Amino acid sequence: MPKLYIANKNYSSWSMRAWVLLTQAGIAFEEVMVPFGANTFEAGSAFKQAMLTVNPAGQVPVLEDDGLFIWDTLEISEYLAEKYPDKHLWPQDVKARARARSICAEMHAGFGALRNACPMNIEAALHEVGALAWRDKPAVRSDVRRLVDMWTPLLEQYRNAPGSQHLLFGKFSIADAYFAPVCMRLKNYALPVPPHITAYIGRVSALPSVKAWVEQALAEHDFVEADEPYRISRDV
């Protein structure tokens, strides 16, 4: 059985992508939690020491399968799509598949302003922080506009596709798993988006895998200072 190494569900957006993909696809795996902690990303931290045993970059997530260790989220997705072709993790149409890969690659490499200003924090309601980021950070507004411009034609094009779940390519795909943490950011920071984007965020949030991730994130009760730039405790 594959193993997936992840960090705190409340904070780790990259972990969420791989976990949601495996879970939503019904692929059995063993979860290995390596929690963030004090000085998480320093060389001598417990987190780094643990992760360096399976990933030379010392980061999460890592998929271990039959002695193979894969530590890039895109490659984890590609590997799973190739190993489990019956799961149809990418869209079946060649053009749709190319488009899905393109938007996932853009997410993988971009949206730095949104990531930095609105780090994933599922437990916290950070609406005021989001309002300030929206007011004061043009790059955040630009990132959100790009998401709206990216998602809108896809939601329209695949709305009436056979078996559509009204997701980015109709049925669930790697693309929805890839943008699930973004949906959490838009929701928890209450960033302004059009109603059809809010509806998509609601559908992603209602996926069984995403609901399970959120429930488990809320049950963690951790407070990692390095991942809490806007609060001094969970009670704030």
Are 9 and 83 found together in one domain? yes
pLDDT score recorded for residue 40? 80
> Which CATH number do you get for residue 53?
3.40.30.10
Angle at 117 between CA 116 and CA 122, to 5 degrees: 90
Inside any domain, residue 234:
no
Q: Is the pLDDT of residue 34 over 80?
A: yes
Q: Is the pLDDT of residue 122 over 90?
A: yes
d(CA 145, CA 48) in angstroms, rounded, equals: 35
d(CA 230, CA 130) in angstroms, rounded, equals: 11
In percent, the amount of the chain with pLDDT more than 90 equals 92
Inside any domain, residue 54:
yes
Q: Please name the helix (run of DSSP H) or strand (run of DSSP E) that holds residue 47, with its range, or none.
A: helix 46-51
Q: Is the pLDDT of residue 37 over 90?
A: no
Q: What is the pTM of this model?
A: 0.97
Inside any domain, residue 230:
no
The two structure tokens encoding residue 218: 């809320």
Are 207 and 132 found together in one domain? yes
Inside any domain, residue 228:
no
pLDDT, one tens digit per residue, over 80-94 is: 999 999 999 999 999
pLDDT score recorded for residue 235? 77
Are 121 and 180 found together in one domain? yes
pLDDT, one tens digit per residue, over 159-200 is: 999 999 999 999 999 999 999 999 999 999 999 999 999 999
Domain finish residue from 42, 63, 87: 87
Give the domain extent around 212: 94-217
pLDDT, one tens digit per residue, over 16-33 is: 999 999 999 999 999 999
Are 208 and 101 found together in one domain? yes
Q: Give just the sign of the alpha carbon dihedral 228, 231, 235, 236.
A: negative
Mean pLDDT of the 107-134 span: 97
pLDDT band at 35; cut points 50, 70, 90: very high
pLDDT score recorded for residue 73? 96
pLDDT score recorded for residue 42? 80
Phi and psi (nearest 5°) for 63? -105, 125
Q: Give me the residue label for tokens 């696809």.
A: 25
pLDDT band at 234; cut points 50, 70, 90: confident
pLDDT score recorded for residue 179? 98
Are 8 and 30 found together in one domain? yes
Domain finish residue from 27, 61, 87: 87
